[in-house]
A and B are shown apart, each in its own frame.
Chain A
């Protein structure tokens, strides 16, 4: 009864209908409890702390050995085009992922040691540049390689402070 009652609180009719279909198909009344707004808030905060960590790494010389940070050349995450991956990238010489390209830029322009592809740091780097491009349409391989005009695509991320972090 409890679960049925919660369905009645769904605001979105189609998701409620969808859930009913699942229920019927499973022949069960044990539906999942939707997250509370406090839980959603927690989850959002966890994402934002990854974005913030990514922002710190993005503007830190620590990833490399020549003083440069990603942010020198990619203000607001510009020209990283997270919405275009995976795609063929001539520097990688294959169809690669955003994370592989992040590592390529750590190795080459920054002369640093690549991150493990599933490390928290890598996820934070990805979270930052994806966040700066929120709302931009996904378009794999949209951009030409090294021809055409490089542009900033996303709305950016308004951090609270500046570099040397």
Chain B
């Protein structure tokens, strides 16, 4: 019921399978065309400025001395070297490649070298072998929130698809194999689903509208390119729940690339991976100037990186992409506003 009423309220069509497998549904809207920082948020509560770091999409294999291990190690050292030291680190999902416990254990061992606390969310590559069992054993809850220096920070599991495996009688390994393909044609669109929507609604219920909100999901909270699950199917519901806030910053992994969008009160940035970069899908970017350049496949670090995000007392955010190569156009190098 909730889904219907929210969608009706937003005047959005319900997505039904392949017919809506196209992107750009929400982008750019009139509001988003107001440009970076165009949304009014002057009255957002003052916060104590702080810096945090973000890493995502390591895709570790259960193979010793794999090149991706070294890249994640490098990203961890890079974050440890940032001065002044970031308060904490957020990790955006796809720590493993095939959902194996060994991959996640290796990932945790590397992430534990961070000199600051970190919080982590799930990506599809962590989940579909055992439906998150090993991951939860290592990292705890699939969704969480905490307050830090006046900002409310939320992490959610956005990669839940409907059961496509039971009817096909797939083994867990086969199910994982399907999900490992970005262009999986049988897996369907994913989202956070009803239970987490209920949780989110309760989580923010008592917060006042001037509370600054930061939310991290694995996939973008807007329809970018559904064919590759560059979307979250219940993003309209999430945006509706968060609508009361003056300003919401969203960050996401999964896309392995620089991308930006702004919808209503939410601005959103996609992040670099530490495994491989992805080409841009064949849709118009809502903000065409915010992107990365073409990558040299002969340079294994090209297209990869870590991130530092600075928040000012007015809750203005700047994402600094710390690319491991000369990858970024100058405007992105200078940092993009969230």
A115 on the B face (CB < 8 A):
no
With A147-B294, A149-B291 given, is the CB distance from A162 to B178 under 8 Å? Answer: yes
C-alpha spacing A75/B298, complex, angstroms: 19
Residues from chain B with Cβ under 8 Å of A151 in the complex: 279-282
With A67-B63, A162-B187 given, is the CB distance from A150 to B173 under 8 Å? Answer: no
Within 8 A of A (CB), among B156-170: none
With A66-B66, A67-B61, A75-B228 given, is the CB distance from A109 to B297 under 8 Å? Answer: yes
* Distance of A70 from chain B, by nearest CB (Å): 11
**What size tier do the contact residues of chain A reach?**
35 or more
A36 on the B face (CB < 8 A):
no
- Whether the pair A71, B294 counts as a contact (CB closer than 8 A) is no
Residues from chain B with Cβ under 8 Å of A152 in the complex: 279-282
Contact of B280 among A66, A147, A150 (CB under 8 A): A150
Residues from chain B with Cβ under 8 Å of A78 in the complex: 278-279, 281
Within 8 A of A (CB), among B255-304: 275-282, 291, 293-298, 300
* Most chain B beta carbons < 10 A, residue from A75, A153, A162, A163: A162
A49 on the B face (CB < 8 A):
no
A91 on the B face (CB < 8 A):
yes
- Tell me the interface secondary structure of chain B in the complex: loop
C-alpha spacing A19/B17, complex, angstroms: 48
Chain B, Cβ-Cβ closest to A162 = B178
C-alpha spacing A47/B49, complex, angstroms: 61
With A73-B276, A151-B279, A164-B173 given, is the CB distance from A66 to B63 under 8 Å? Answer: yes
* Distance of B161 from chain A, by nearest CB (Å): 12
C-alpha spacing A44/B59, complex, angstroms: 38
With A152-B279, A153-B282 given, is the CB distance from A66 to B61 under 8 Å? Answer: yes
B182 on the A face (CB < 8 A):
yes
- Whether the pair A156, B183 counts as a contact (CB closer than 8 A) is yes
Residues from chain B with Cβ under 8 Å of A164 in the complex: 173-174, 176-177, 180
- Whether the pair A158, B185 counts as a contact (CB closer than 8 A) is yes
Chain B, Cβ-Cβ closest to A156 = B183
C-alpha spacing A156/B181, complex, angstroms: 13
Contact of B182 among A75, A79, A109, A160 (CB under 8 A): A75
B97 on the A face (CB < 8 A):
yes
- Whether the pair A67, B186 counts as a contact (CB closer than 8 A) is no
Residues from chain A with Cβ under 8 Å of B297 in the complex: 73, 91, 105, 108-109
C-alpha spacing A165/B186, complex, angstroms: 15
- Whether the pair A146, B181 counts as a contact (CB closer than 8 A) is no
B67 on the A face (CB < 8 A):
yes
A39 on the B face (CB < 8 A):
no
- Whether the pair B296, A146 counts as a contact (CB closer than 8 A) is yes
- Whether the pair B66, A75 counts as a contact (CB closer than 8 A) is no
C-alpha spacing A107/B66, complex, angstroms: 16
Contact of A162 among B181, B280, B281 (CB under 8 A): B181
- Whether the pair A146, B97 counts as a contact (CB closer than 8 A) is no
A99 on the B face (CB < 8 A):
no
A28 on the B face (CB < 8 A):
no
A144 on the B face (CB < 8 A):
yes
C-alpha spacing A147/B184, complex, angstroms: 29
C-alpha spacing A67/B228, complex, angstroms: 21
By Cβ-Cβ distance, the 4 closest A-B pairs, closest first, are A162-B178, A164-B177, A150-B279, A79-B279
Write 19 A-B pairs (CB below 8 A) sorted by A numbering.
A66-B61, A66-B63, A71-B181, A73-B276, A75-B278, A76-B227, A78-B278, A144-B294, A145-B294, A146-B293, A147-B293, A152-B280, A152-B281, A156-B183, A158-B185, A162-B177, A163-B178, A164-B177, A164-B180
